[in-house]
Amino acid sequence: MSNVTKINDFLDKAKTFYFLTTDGDQPKGRPFGFHMLVDDKLYFGCGTFKNVFKQLMANPKVEVLAVNGGEFLRYDGEAVVVRDEALTAKVREMSPQIMAMYDKNGWEMGLFYLKNGHAEIRGMMDLKEEFDV
């Protein structure tokens, strides 16, 4: 199993995870749920009109935090925005209700992955696994 698949599987089990950015010098976190693994790249997405997207454009260094049972995942890296109609089509397949709302309101889904990533899977008292992605 590849390292990125380990992260994807952890996020699948956690269901909700937290995406952390900065707004100037203030840390910001918010719950996310959308992610998709395509060709061994883990993509995330949010509306380009949202503050989180503007924050990651201003400072692409971000972190994902997820909890599943007694374990948690920390995954950090630099966000790389991707504009790709084939990926957007996959999002439409996975989340037709969300994309219908985006279409209705004229919103754009911003897709991105993390480069230069590092991940840790930990228990509350110990490191389970650590790897670069």
What are the sequence ranges of the domains in the chain? 3-132
6, containing H or E segment: helix 3-14
What does pTM read for this prediction? 0.93
The model's pLDDT over 94-117, given as tens digits with 9 standing for 90+, comes to: 999 999 999 999 999 999 999 999
Give the whole-angstrom CA distance, residue 85 versus residue 109.
11
User: What's residue 8's pLDDT?
Assistant: 97
Locate all alpha helices (DSSP H) within 15-121, ordered by sequence.
Answer: 51-58, 85-94, 96-105
The model's pLDDT over 48-98, given as tens digits with 9 standing for 90+, comes to: 999 999 999 999 999 999 999 999 999 999 999 999 999 999 999 999 999
Q: Are 104 and 46 in contact (CB under 8 A)?
A: no
Closest CA to 75 of 34, 31, 30, 122: 122
Q: What is the CATH number of domain 3-132?
A: 2.30.110.10
